[in-house]
Structure 1
Amino acid sequence: MRRGRLRRTGEAAYGLLLLGRQVAMALLVLLVLVAGVWTSWGTAQHALLTKGKERGTFTVGSCHSSWCTGSFTADPAKGDDRRSVRIDATVTDGKGQRIPVVLKPGTTEAVRTDLPGLLYSWAPLGGALLLASILLAGALRLHRAAWVLGLAGVGVLGAAFLGL
């Protein structure tokens, strides 16, 4: 028995809606991952690519709610000493700590260049991996890929937490 034209059209439209949902969710997962990489790269590029940038040691002088300020002692022939430089408070242990850093070009903002600082700079990617894993498992039903992304996200965030 043959189905009617109206029913075939309805089934085709429903199939297109399902396909559209899958494509939209895949694009959302991709957007979340790209945003995580983009956000992480804003800080990680300075920690990874230090050639031609002012490198040295940051000594924590005082800390406020989100920033710590202190002095910057440049490595020989790598830049000039500065009296007032700031760094994110979450990457320091407090007053008196000495941290290897690089200065963002044209600013007085420092980025930690040792392993804990590098791991911390990739923390937004870890969060994006966790969020993407939830979207993959819930919306796209890709459970194995979700586990891989989720464990990678937990690994990045855990390493950053333990490193600092």
Structure 2
Amino acid sequence: MASKRTQALLYARRAAMAGVALLLLVAGVRSSWGAAQHVMLAKGREHGTLTIAACGAETCTGPYTPEGRTPDHPRVTIDKSIAVRKGAKLPVVLKPGTAEAVRAGAPGVLHAWAPLGGALLLAALVIAGGLRMTRLAWGAALAGGALLGAAFLAL
């Protein structure tokens, strides 16, 4: 009887760890998609150039110059990254109906998916420690590390 109980506990532990790993990955995708959708599905959205005028603790602001016939925006905000300096000109895409911008192009895609890279690194720990699947854990860790490294280098 004790072996069946032990077996059930092992299955429950594996199911719980798989649920935690899946929860981490879903949270990473969900937090990344908020910005990534505007960069990856940019057709029909306002494209232009943002000139950084000032930076606060978490955001930077500046004037926006559109590429097409859309109106100028005197003050647009963007999330602050480590590589933004005053006077820098960044290609951006505006979120519809707002004055918030996200970086365009490959740097924007990598920056938008950076939370998924962190989630992959955290999930790798759960996969290795809780599920004892070391090869899958190494793959997740390498993918997350590569994504974060590429985002850091692109910005």
Tell me if both proteins adopt one fold, taking TM over 0.5 as the criterion: yes
Which aligned runs of 4 or more in structure 1 are off by greater than 6 angstroms? Answer: none
Task: Tell me the residue number matched to 1:69.
Answer: 61
Which structure 2 segments of 5+ residues have no match? none
Count of residue pairs the alignment pairs up: 155
Task: Tell me the residue number matched to 1:15.
Answer: 7
Superposition map of 1:41-52 within 5 A: 41-52=33-44
1:40 equivalent among 32, 42, 47: 32
Per-residue CA deviations over 1:109-137 (Å, capped at 9, x if unaligned) read 00001221211111000000000111111
Task: Tell me the residue number matched to 1:116.
Answer: 107
Q: Report the 3-state secondary structure (helix = DSSP H, G, I; strand = E; otherwise coil) of the residue aligned with 1:90.
A: coil
Q: Report the 3-state secondary structure (helix = DSSP H, G, I; strand = E; otherwise coil) of the residue aligned with 2:64.
A: strand
Task: Tell me the residue number matched to 1:138.
Answer: 129
Larger CA deviation: 48-57 vs 123-132 = 48-57
Q: Which amino acid aligns with 2:115?
A: P
Distance, in Å, in 2 between the alignment partners of 1:44 and 1:104 is 11
Tell me: higher relative CO, structure 1 or 2? Use CA pairs within 8 A at least 6 residues apart.
Answer: 2
Give RMSD over aligned pairs: 1.1
CA contact (8 A) 1:70 1:86 kept: yes
Distance, in Å, in 2 between the alignment partners of 1:107 and 1:76 is 17
CA contact (8 A) 1:91 1:112 kept: no
1:102 equivalent among 74, 80, 93: 93
Distance, in Å, in 1 between the alignment partners of 2:76 and 2:60 is 8
Distance, in Å, in 2 between the alignment partners of 1:63 and 1:16 is 55
Q: Report the 3-state secondary structure (helix = DSSP H, G, I; strand = E; otherwise coil) of the residue aligned with 1:72.
A: strand
Which structure 1 segments of 5+ residues have no match? 1-7
Q: Report the 3-state secondary structure (helix = DSSP H, G, I; strand = E; otherwise coil) of the residue aligned with 1:96.
A: coil
Q: Percent identity?
A: 52
Q: Which amino acid aligns with 1:122?
A: W
Per-residue CA deviations over 1:43-76 (Å, capped at 9, x if unaligned) read 1110111112111111111111111110111112
Aligned-pair CA distance for 1:17: 1.2
TM-score normalised according to structure 2 size: 0.96
